[in-house]
Amino acid sequence: MFSEVFFTGLYSSLIALILGLVASCYKSKCSKIEFCGVSIIRDVQIEEELDAQPRNPLQSNNNL
């Protein structure tokens, strides 16, 4: 009937959709989100401050 390639593509598409939704929720600056009975309250001000800080990918990790 359906081949393994079809199901692999379907699963990959669903995972990509879920990850896309999570990424758009993270970029959203809404402080309160309600979906299917789940309520999430975020402190958007702190997230904006953290996002504004420059990132240094070559920073050493000496605090281990």
Structural tokens at position 52: 């504004």
Identify whether 60 is part of a domain: no
Residue 10 inside a domain? The answer is yes
**Residue 64 belongs to a domain:** no
In this structure, is residue 31 part of a structural domain? Answer: yes
d(CA 61, CA 64): 7
Looking at the DSSP bridge assignments, the partners of residue 33 are: 40
Structural domain boundaries, residue 46 = 4-52
Domain count, the chain: 1
The structure's pTM equals 0.52
Three-class SS state of 24: helix
Around Cβ 47, how many Cβ atoms within 10 Å? 14
In a domain, 58, yes or no: no
| Residuewise pLDDT in 10s, the chain (64 residues) | 678 999 999 999 999 999 998 888 777 777 787 878 888 887 777 777 777 777 776 665 655 5
